[in-house]
Amino acid sequence: MIRSDTRAVVAPVSQALAVKLHWALRIGVVLEFLGHGLAGFYRPVSWIPYFTLFGIPETFASSHMFVIIGTVDIALAVLLLVRPMRAVMAHMAVWGLMTAWLRPLTGESWFELVERGANFGMPLALLVLSGWGGRSLWSWFERVRPPEEIGEELARRLAWVMRVSIALLLVGHGGLGIWAAKKEWFDFLGWVRVTDASQAADLMPWVGALEVVLGLAVLIKRLRHLLLFVLVWKLGTELLRPLVGQPNYQFVERAGDYVLPLALFWLVGDPPRGGPAEDVDGPISEHRGGRGTMPYEKSTADLHVIRTVQVAAGPGHRA
C-alpha cells in the first residue's frame, strides 16, 4: 500500500519533467530547421562553396539547390512537429553535423564548426531522451512519445549531451571573437555604442574569452545559476543579429543556443531549501538517494513522499 502511494506521488513529477524536456527540445529542433530552411530561400552567397565542394556548379546551386535544401529542411521541421520519429531525429543530428563540418572544409575557421554544437547536439539530445530504436526498423519510424520517467542513467546521458553541446557553442563563438575578428562582430559592438574600430578590435578578444570561460565552466561544473546566465547571454547576443539588420532566420535557426541551457536548467532540478544552492556536481545518487527521477537534488515532491511514508509507517520512523 505504501509503495502504491509513493509511486502515485513520484510518477507525475518525473513524467511532467519528461514531457517538458521533450517539447522544449522538439520545438527547439523545429525552429532550428525552420530557420535553416528559410535561409535557403534567401540564397546566401556564403553557401555557394558548400555546393561547389561536391562539384555542383554555382549556377545550378543558385537556381535549384538553395530551394531544395530549404524545402527539405522546412519539411523535416513540420514532420518532427506533427509526428516525431527517431529516424528523423537521427537524420537531423547527422545533417546538423555535416552542414557544420562544411565550414572548415571550405576554408572557414574551425571555430565555425565548434560554434554549431547545438545544431547537431539538440537533435541528438532529443533522440537520447526518446530512446534508441534498436534493431527493429519500425521502431525508428513509429511515433515517439515522452518517456514515462527520467531515470538516473538517462538523466546522466542527457545532461552530458546538453553540457557538451552548450560548451561547444560557447567556446566556438568565443574563439571566433578571439581569433577570427568577423565583420559581424564589429556590427554587434557598434550597436552597443562601441563604434571605434580599434576599440572594437581590442574588446573582441575579451568578450570571446568570457564565452570560452563560460563554455568550460558549463562543461566542468554543473551550476544552475550559471545556466540561467548563459541563457540570458545567448538570447541577448543572438538578438543583436536582427537588430543590426541580419535576416530574422539567423536568430530562429540558433534556437539551440537558448533551448539547451533552459532544458539543462530544468533537468538539474530545484536546489534543496536551506541547503547549498549552487554546486550540484557529483553523482546523482549522492543528491537524490539513488532514485534518479530528476537529477542532483531532493525536490519538494521528494520531501512530500518521505513525509507520506513516515505517516504510513507510524510514529518514530525516519525515511
In angstroms, the CA 293 to CA 284 distance is 10
Q: Assign 279 to helix, strand or coil.
A: strand
pLDDT tens, residue by residue, 14-36: 788 999 999 999 999 999 999 99
pLDDT tens, residue by residue, 109-144: 999 999 999 999 999 999 999 998 778 889 999 999
Kindly list the distances between the CA atom of residue 238 and the CA atoms of 101, 133, 161, 252, 266, in Å, as whole numbers in the listed order: 21, 35, 22, 9, 22
Q: What pLDDT, on a 0 to 100 scale, did the predictor assign at position 300?
A: 44
pLDDT above 80 (res 302)? no
Cβ pair 9, 308 in contact under 8 A: yes
pLDDT above 80 (res 196)? yes
What's the pTM value of the predicted model, to 2 decimals?
Answer: 0.81
In angstroms, the CA 61 to CA 278 distance is 51
In angstroms, the CA 140 to CA 107 distance is 36
Least confident of 28-32, 99-103, 153-157, 261-265: 153-157
Cβ pair 269, 294 in contact under 8 A: yes
In angstroms, the CA 33 to CA 53 distance is 22
Cβ pair 162, 267 in contact under 8 A: yes
In angstroms, the CA 257 to CA 127 distance is 18
pLDDT above 60 (res 61)? yes
pLDDT tens, residue by residue, 306-317: 444 444 445 444
pLDDT tens, residue by residue, 263-288: 999 998 744 344 444 444 443 433 44
Q: Which helix (H) or strand (E) holds 305?
A: helix 300-313
Q: What pLDDT, on a 0 to 100 scale, did the predictor assign at position 223?
A: 84
Kindly list the distances between the CA atom of residue 38 and the CA atoms of 33, 46, 62, 172, 249, in Å, as whole numbers in the listed order: 8, 15, 15, 24, 6
In angstroms, the CA 119 to CA 125 distance is 11
